[in-house]
A and B are shown apart, each in its own frame.
Chain A
């Protein structure tokens, strides 16, 4: 239970076996390399050479992965993939695959198709632009060569102009007699009522006045259209040619897309396997690159769990006789990483601690402490026996169907399996089965349901509120006691009494006093409570002022410390969410049943709609309420509970492992 004991291994070996050693360390999946070199120290040359070779391959693999993935339809559905249904390979198979695969050729093929595609797309967009120019010139039924070649004396330009600028342009052209003779303006026909923002115009002019005409046009707001030199026929003829070209280009584009998809289908699996292979190798040698070296030996240090130390030691020593491996306990001034090791009942809750922050190596692992509370709180928040059955059944089905789920995912799913049990229990004792499904649709079971009910949040919410707050007090007080325990372990007795036990006495005393006054406990509990609360308050008062100078300062800080009880009040009231969320699930369920009942009154197809509403509604309700039931109890752990004693701050244990992004790699 708690944080696993680690051993520190110092491994001296000859450079000739360094590859086998690195592989062996990685394949155990339980060794975290400790860097023994300075930040900028050059890496051992053997490792350096290997790494640069792998990086080159990795660059190709990454390129292929990035380029081909969008064209690849994964034959394995995403959900199956997440649940571990992936190809299984061994490192030896991967090595063979890597040796016989010509990555460079696949890359070259892919690049060629990629380049051609880019080329075709460029041509296509150019053709489409030209097509739109031709469309706007449709009114102009002359060969387009006039724009670029012209005749001996005559040439033309085309442009767009805002309709309101037209009169100005016409006037300017008509102004000089020489323009009036040598120019002719043709305006594309347009409908005044449509108020086009611009219209197209073509202007013929004599070469002799070219400079003046161009200046005049730009002054009057005619912006020129560049007519491509390749256009020589009339717009209609050119359009026909372009249409044919565009059709051909589009066909080529489709063909290239098919080619790309073929490339992806042929190679993606290989690329994915090689990606895991080379990433594994890169991880392996980047790990051993942190080793120190002499001319012919290397020194690698790593952490490994104490319970696997001997097994791993013998495995590594079997590689070569020229190996020296010593195991040592961490020195007091060393801060090893922390690995949570808990029994199978607590293990699924590890992730909750890790999501917050791993404990320090020598600190307390809060997982076993929070697990029962989280379990109960989750149950109270979801609080529906029907929902629990659905979740439970679904998880059993997943476990039955998928046998290769990775450890992390499996533990996370098991967390919900466990919590569905508490949900079921609370659902039964609070009489909630798919909301009020029993009352609404199967009245025959109502007596059974009622006989199992211990609490009734619907008619007596104050009772459940009381239970929620009581659980809160227990949770918080437990946190205080853990804090006190940890301080006592560190021999800080005064602090333990002053800042934890005092508050424990004060709050428990106040609760006993209050409950006793309410007549729910025998009268002498009131006296005990009073006594505890006074002792607690006195300690808090004096502890807070212990380092202050002068009687006034001591009194002020004492009262300020007592005022801190409001934060405990806030903490305790925060647990009222247990009632509210449980209530939320129950009422949402009730609403769904109500809607289903209403839908059932629709003639003929009512029953069908009712079934859809009830099933769909409850599935939605399960999803949304699981999210809430996970997040809120988690917050109670992190903010209210951890706030009392736990701050984490440990480095999580990250052993060197094989990369398994796409396939399940076995050693």
Chain B
């Protein structure tokens, strides 16, 4: 039972990286489909399509970031060895991972859909690139807020 805390914390880190990563993969996939469609008509739009396609990718990075944050806090990176953790502390870390895991997952999917729509938009109106970037960025706001929540929560949890 003395490893339960560590396991819970790792479970949280895994969820943060995995769920947010899944969301980004889906989001980028959806946007990529739209981008490929637009590029069959006009291959010159590759640059702007790529930027729009990349937008839903940040959630995956945020998830990874939190996962590393947790691993670092647990002392699993580098040779120092894991810190001792009560199950209560483990659960706290697990909870801290949830905002970015869940919000990252969903927001990336919806951001991908918005990106896809924006890609359609620039296929008709290339001059509207500014607006096309802002619309998906509106969705990302909530992933950023969740990242912030996760970071602040993690910093608050005392271990070791």
Residues of A within 8 A of B (CB): 352, 354-356, 461, 573-574, 576-577, 579-581, 583-584, 587-588, 590-591, 594, 597-598, 624, 627-628, 631-632, 634-635, 638-639
Contact = CB atoms under 8 A, between A and B. Distances in A.
A576 B147 CA distance: 11
B69 interface: yes
Interface stretch (B3-11, B33-41, B148-156): B148-156
B141 interface: yes
Interface in B10-45: none
Given A355-B131, A584-B61, A587-B65, A594 B141 contact: no
B96 to A, nearest CB: 14
20 contacts: A352-B130, A354-B130, A355-B129, A356-B131, A574-B141, A577-B144, A577-B148, A579-B148, A580-B148, A583-B148, A584-B61, A587-B68, A587-B69, A594-B72, A627-B55, A634-B130, A634-B134, A635-B137, A635-B141, A638-B134
Given A588-B61, A594-B68, A635-B138, A576 B148 contact: yes
Interface in B112-160: 129-131, 133-134, 137-138, 140-141, 144-145, 147-148, 151-152, 155
Given A587-B69, A591-B65, 13 more contacts: A354-B130, A355-B129, A461-B155, A577-B141, A583-B147, A584-B65, A587-B68, A590-B68, A598-B78, A631-B137, A634-B130, A634-B133, A635-B134
A635 B55 CA distance: 14
B58 interface: yes
Contacts of A631: 55, 133-134, 137, 140
A631 to B, nearest CB: 5
Residue from B64, B68, B137, B155 with most neighbouring chain A CB atoms (10 Å) = B137
A639 B138 contact: yes
Contacts of A352: 130
Interface string B45-59: 000000100110110
Majority secondary structure, B binding face: helix
Nearest to A458: B155
Contact of B144 (A461, A588, A590, A632): A632
Which 6 A-B residue pairings sit nearest by Cβ, starting from the closest?
A355-B130, A580-B148, A577-B144, A631-B137, A591-B68, A580-B144
Nearest to B147: A580
A634 B130 CA distance: 9
Nearest to B133: A631
A472 B69 CA distance: 27
B81 to A, nearest CB: 14
A566 to B, nearest CB: 16
A584 B66 CA distance: 10
A147 to B, nearest CB: 43
B144 A581 contact: yes
A583 B151 contact: yes
B141 A584 contact: no
Contacts of A356: 130-131
A27 B72 CA distance: 63
Contacts of A587: 65, 68-69
B62 interface: yes
Contacts of B64: 591
Contacts of A634: 130, 133-134, 137
Contacts of B140: 631-632
B83 interface: no
B118 to A, nearest CB: 12
Contacts of B68: 587, 590-591, 594
Contacts of B78: 594, 597-598
Contacts of B148: 576-577, 579-580, 583
A54 to B, nearest CB: 24
A627 B133 CA distance: 10
Contacts of A461: 151-152, 155
Contacts of B137: 631-632, 634-635
A590 B68 CA distance: 10
Nearest to A586: B65
A624 B141 contact: no
B48 to A, nearest CB: 12
A597 B80 CA distance: 13
Given A591-B68, A594-B68, A627-B51, A584 B62 contact: yes
A580 to B, nearest CB: 4
A461 B151 CA distance: 9
A587 B69 CA distance: 8
B137 to A, nearest CB: 5
A580 B57 CA distance: 16
A641 to B, nearest CB: 13
B50 to A, nearest CB: 10
A588 B51 CA distance: 20
A544 B131 CA distance: 32
Contacts of A577: 141, 144-145, 148
B65 A628 contact: no
B147 A594 contact: no
Nearest to A601: B79
A588 B65 contact: yes
Contacts of B58: 624, 628
Nearest to B135: A635
B112 to A, nearest CB: 15
Nearest to B47: A82
A534 B151 CA distance: 36
A114 B57 CA distance: 43
Given A594-B72, A632-B137, A635-B137, A584 B145 contact: no
Given A355-B131, A628-B58, A631-B55, A576 B145 contact: yes
Residue from B57, B61, B129, B145 with most neighbouring chain A CB atoms (10 Å) = B61
Nearest to A624: B61
Contacts of A574: 141
A50 B103 CA distance: 61
B45 to A, nearest CB: 14
A461 B138 CA distance: 24
Nearest to A356: B130
Contacts of B151: 461, 580, 583
Contact of B54 (A594, A597, A627, A638): A627
Given A598-B77, A635-B141, A584 B147 contact: yes
